[in-house]
Amino acid sequence: MVGVLSGCAAVILDWAIHALRHLLERGFSGGGYDWQYLILPGIGMLISLLLVRYVVKDNIGHGVTKALLAISRGDSKIKPHNTWSSMLTSSITIGFGGSVGAEAPIVYTGAAIGSNIGRAFGLSYRGITMLLGCGAAGAVAGIFKAPLAGVLFTLEILLFNVSLQSLLPLLVSTISATVVSYIFRGQTPVFACTLTPFSMVNLPFYIILGVVGGFGSLYFLRTTLQLEDRIGKTLNPYLRWGVCALALGLLIFLFPPLYGEGYDSLGALLNGQDLALEGRSVLSFLLDWKWGVPLFFALIFFLKVLAMTATNAGGGVGGTFGPTLFAGAILGFVVARSLNLLGASVPEQNFVLVGMAALMAGVMQAPMTAIFLIAEISGGYALLIPLILTATVAFGTVRIFEKYSIYTKRIAQSGDLLTHDSDQAVLTLMHVDSLIRDKYPRVQIDATVREVVNLVSDTDAAVMAVLDSKGRFQGLVDIANARRVLFDASKYDALHVYNIMESAPDYIYAGEKMESVMAKFDRTGAWRLPVVDRDRRYLGFISRSRLLTAYRQELKEIASED
């Protein structure tokens, strides 16, 4: 069910983008500069902005990252509106020429379909998470007609703990989505291309492409995140839209391949065809100079990040998946053309294709997905060796400088990232608030020992929380350590709580990450630690035994095959 629905969503989104683009371009003249590029993308961004602010009323950008967050701290629950809102807004954004991809929105849509079906059937966290993964996998398979890539995408990027038995629903989902896509979109690969047979002589050049792709991935990833942070500080969304719309319009006017997803340009490069930019760009004169060609396309590569970020920051809805493929293809062409101008003889179409895998492996840090996605969407299995080599080199290069992918970097900084490390994953899924116990007696700091004795007689708790008049935690009374005083009746009225209380070895704060909590227990050796809010108001205690019990239960839950 999830696979079929995700496949249908992919078909609808693809049809909506192309139908809207065809409708808008029908009245354009065939010659002269593309003046419409100055205004159309901005109009699409504005429509999407208004829909998100006044209809959806929720942040729906960065779909893959949002799906990861739902798994790590939202019990895999995604709001029902995400089954349609990302499709609607992204089709408008891209149809009007926004320089983003449709893949992240459709992944979020598929994940939302799986999550909501799982919730409707009352499944457990693990069951809902598996259906969420099936929806995402089906969406990738449906949009690219690539069932294996859909499975690998989910395994490498979304799901952190999948056994061999769990592969079955993922495979069923991707096959179902691919069949739906075949029925409505045909069985031709998304990027049908003309390739040259692989030659071992070119292996060193593919290694060069891998290294360049690694550094290109680093630029793409870091520049994107930095630009988003800087532009996002502009508080007025309409002012932000105006600036971004103007910048995007100028970029596309100067470099028409930046318009929309750019897949038309990819198709031309993959088949060794001319992009026909003469008379369409004021910079087309560069193409008359032999070194001007790689220079022109290098500028497109570097400016694609700006165009993509301007689209998203200005109110548009789209992802980085498609732009990564586009930028990788452009980079592959630049490397191949430069090598040929220097006297080598490498097949440019092959390098365009392999460049897509190189940048995808580096930016998304998902080399297996990159290898098989590019092979599936192009029918380029004959290039499997250079695909593997180049993707691996690009991945290894970027990992020297950057540990996280474009999807996971911000989540990792907040401490919410789930990884394939089961121990780390369990800690991420655990929450402080669910472990707090408030069974311990409370006593005022200026109370007498007699009051403490009266409380002890009515409880089996090992400690008491000492508070001031405003409910702020001041310390604790350890019953065992205070035994000598508590058994001496002569001191009941002579001593007060502040005479016998102890300081806590450390504090746990409400909402604190479990990794930090575990570190405090390890460092202090304490059996229990108090939990307070940021104003140090007392909330309860967390004991080591409760923490370990919850850890074992969570570990059992994520490892369960039910």
84: closest CA among 148, 165, 9? Answer: 9
Residue whose pair of structure tokens reads 């980079």 in the numeric block: 331
Q: Do 438 and 538 form a contact (C-beta atoms < 8 A)?
A: no
CA distance 16 to 180: 16
Q: Which residues of 114-124 are buried (b: 16+ CB within 10 A; e: fewer)?
A: bbbbbbeeebe
Q: What CATH number corresponds to the domain at position 374?
A: 1.10.3080.10
208 and 128 in a common domain: no
Q: Does residue 422 lie in a domain region? A: no
Predicted confidence at residue 148, as pLDDT, reads: 92
In eight-state DSSP terms, residue 48 is: H
409 and 455 in a common domain: no
Range of the domain at 6: 2-185
533 and 504 in a common domain: yes
Which pLDDT tens digit goes with each residue over 154-185? 988 887 666 677 789 999 999 999 999 999 99
Name the 3-class secondary structure at 448.
Answer: strand
The whole-model pTM stands at 0.79
Q: Which helix (H) or strand (E) holds 378?
A: helix 367-378
Which pLDDT tens digit goes with each residue over 199-255? 899 999 999 999 999 999 999 999 999 998 888 777 688 899 999 999 999 999 889
Query: What is the average pLDDT value for the chain, to the nearest integer?
Result: 86
The set of residues, in sequence order, having a beta carbon less than 8 Å from that of 130 and lying 6+ positions away, is 118, 159, 166, 169
155 and 14 in a common domain: yes
190: closest CA among 326, 95, 298? Answer: 326
In eight-state DSSP terms, residue 346 is: -
The set of residues, in sequence order, having a beta carbon less than 8 Å from that of 79 and lying 6+ positions away, is 58, 112
Which pLDDT tens digit goes with each residue over 315-334? 999 989 999 999 999 999 99
Predicted confidence at residue 166, as pLDDT, reads: 77
476 and 542 in a common domain: yes
Q: Does residue 400 lie in a domain region? A: yes
Query: What's the number of domains the chain is made of?
Result: 3
Neighbour count for residue 273 (Cβ, 10 Å): 12
251 and 305 in a common domain: yes
User: Counting every residue, how long is the chain?
Assistant: 562
The set of residues, in sequence order, having a beta carbon less than 8 Å from that of 466 and lying 6+ positions away, is 443, 444, 445, 473, 474, 475, 476, 477, 497, 498, 501
128 and 262 in a common domain: no
Q: Does residue 191 lie in a domain region? A: no
- Distance in angstroms between the alpha carbons of the first and the last residue of the chain: 19
388 and 241 in a common domain: yes
Neighbour count for residue 523 (Cβ, 10 Å): 10
Q: Does residue 190 lie in a domain region? A: no
Predicted confidence at residue 8, as pLDDT, reads: 97
Question: Has residue 106 got a pLDDT over 80?
Answer: yes
In eight-state DSSP terms, residue 471 is: S
Higher-confidence residue of 7 and 420: namely: 7
Predicted confidence at residue 449, as pLDDT, reads: 83
Which pLDDT tens digit goes with each residue over 363-405? 999 999 999 999 888 876 888 999 999 999 999 999 999 988 8
Mean pLDDT check: name the lowest of 30-34, 96-100, 225-229, 533-537: 30-34
Q: What CATH number corresponds to the domain at position 498?
A: 3.10.580.10
Predicted confidence at residue 562, as pLDDT, reads: 45
Q: Does residue 346 lie in a domain region? A: yes
Q: Does residue 252 lie in a domain region? A: yes
- Of 159, 185, 211, the residue at which a domain comes to its end is 185
- Of 185, 217, 233, the residue at which a domain comes to its end is 185
Q: Please spell the DSSP secondary structure of 135-185, one letter per residue.
A: HHHHHHHHHHT-HHHHHHHIIIII-S---TTTHHHHHHHHHHHHHHHHHHH
CA angle at 322 for the pair 402 and 223, rounded to the nearest 5° = 35
Predicted confidence at residue 332, as pLDDT, reads: 95
107 and 172 in a common domain: yes
Predicted confidence at residue 370, as pLDDT, reads: 93
Higher-confidence residue of 557 and 523: namely: 523
CA distance 38 to 30: 16
Q: Does residue 150 lie in a domain region? A: yes
Read off the tokens for 550. Answer: 């919850």
Read off the tokens for 283. Answer: 């910079």
CA distance 373 to 175: 14
38 and 131 in a common domain: yes
**What are the two backbone dihedrals, phi and then psi, of residue 508, each rounded to the nearest 5 degrees?**
-110, 135
Predicted confidence at residue 461, as pLDDT, reads: 79
Q: Does residue 192 lie in a domain region? A: no
Residue whose pair of structure tokens reads 């069985």 in the numeric block: 187
Amino acid making up residue 429 = L
The set of residues, in sequence order, having a beta carbon less than 8 Å from that of 240 and lying 6+ positions away, is 231, 234, 313, 314, 315
Residue whose pair of structure tokens reads 């909330």 in the numeric block: 539
Which pLDDT tens digit goes with each residue over 479-527? 888 877 877 788 788 888 888 888 888 988 888 888 788 888 888 888 8
Q: Is the dihedral of CA 62, 67, 73, 74 positive or negative?
A: positive
Question: Has residue 424 got a pLDDT over 80?
Answer: no
How far lies 291's CA from each of 171, 172, 287, 341, 530, in Å?
Answer: 46, 49, 8, 8, 67
CA distance 42 to 314: 8
Q: Which helix (H) or strand (E) holds 530?
A: strand 528-532
216 and 348 in a common domain: yes
In eight-state DSSP terms, residue 54 is: I
Read off the tokens for 305. Answer: 């990040």
Parallel, antiparallel or unpaired: strands 473-478 and 442-444? unpaired
Higher-confidence residue of 411 and 352: namely: 352
Which pLDDT tens digit goes with each residue over 137-154? 999 999 999 999 999 999
- Helix ranges restricted to H, 458-530: 483-486, 497-500, 514-524
252 and 316 in a common domain: yes
Amino acid making up residue 437 = R
Which pLDDT tens digit goes with each residue over 442-488? 888 888 888 888 888 777 778 888 888 888 888 888 888 887 787 77
Residue 463 bridge partners (DSSP):
478
- Of 160, 185, 210, the residue at which a domain comes to its end is 185
